[in-house]
Copies of this chain bind each other. A is one copy, B any other.
Amino acid sequence: MSTDTAEPALKRQKKEEYVLYYWPGNPGRGEHIRLAFEYAGVPYTEFNDPGKLLSIITNAKEVGGTPHFAPPCLKLPSGTFLSQTPAILNHIAPKLGLAGNKEGADPEELRSLVNQLTLTALDLNNETHDTHHPIASEDYYEDQKEEAIKKAKNHRAKRLPKYLAHFQNVLESNPDGKDKGGTYLVGSTTTTADLVLFQVLDGTSYAFPKRYAALKKSGKYDNVFALKDRVAQEPGIKEYLASDRRRPYGMNVFRYYPELDGDK
């Protein structure tokens, strides 16, 4: 391991207390939470019994409180279970140093701004999922393939460029990150918004390789793609991406169906 990817020893000394409840075999929505812990160097474990996952998190007695709708679900050090990806990220962001850091800014407003940008990146995540399941999330892709082809066409042509233009706009208008390459969405430190955007871009490069290449080549969203490259090299993330903890894409949010991809 090269020294630039070695994490500060202090980071790894915290007590291991967070437990992620998510499907163990794929990145999916759980990946956004994994990346936050991996970047911060805060240890977490994963519940590894997919057969029991849903019956636990949807049962008030099992979680000792409010039952949950769907994974990911995070068991906090207090024993409380929390679900909904953006709620989890917003909860842990200040504890992991991922809620923004900007001199003179109100910390709570900064945290909400990070939450806002995280939510927008997660909207793109959700819309990407819907390209292969536009009609019924419970049914097979093959049963909604015709509609998926239509939705994916609109996604590639309109939605994806609209999101990229937004994030490019955000990056270009952030004065604090300018001297560091203009690759920070808030201030000049990594936040959950950067990590989620990285993951959605990475997933998009898997699901829509032709369209991703064309958008990158257009030169319109250079800061966005530079953010992806920057995050991939961050201590914690670089090590994680090279490890076997990083799961391959498969049949979750980001799926590769050649008929859904295209240059345009």
Q: CB within 8 Å of B: which residues of A?
A: 58, 60, 65-69, 76, 78, 80, 82-84, 86-88, 90-91, 106, 108-109, 112-113, 115-117, 119-120, 123, 130, 134-139, 144, 147, 150-151, 154, 158-159, 163, 166, 169-170, 173-174, 185-186
Judge whether B112 and A66 touch: CB under 8 Å.
no
Judge whether A170 and B67 touch: CB under 8 Å.
yes
Q: Which B residues are in CB contact (< 8 Å) with A68? A: 116
Q: Which B residues are in CB contact (< 8 Å) with A151? A: 134-136
Q: Which B residues are in CB contact (< 8 Å) with A186? A: 66
Complex: A163 Cα to B106 Cα, angstroms? 36
Complex: A67 Cα to B168 Cα, angstroms? 10
Judge whether B90 and A112 touch: CB under 8 Å.
yes
Q: How far is the CB of A19 from chain B (nearest CB, A)?
A: 15
Judge whether A66 and B117 touch: CB under 8 Å.
yes
Complex: A139 Cα to B159 Cα, angstroms? 12
Complex: A166 Cα to B151 Cα, angstroms? 29
Complex: A145 Cα to B81 Cα, angstroms? 40
Judge whether A69 and B115 touch: CB under 8 Å.
no
Q: How far is the CB of A122 from chain B (nearest CB, A)?
A: 10
Q: Which B residues are in CB contact (< 8 Å) with A134? A: 134-135, 147, 151
Q: Which B residues are in CB contact (< 8 Å) with A112? A: 82, 87-88, 90-91
Complex: A65 Cα to B175 Cα, angstroms? 9
Judge whether B135 and A84 touch: CB under 8 Å.
no
Complex: A86 Cα to B119 Cα, angstroms? 8
Judge whether B116 and A169 touch: CB under 8 Å.
no
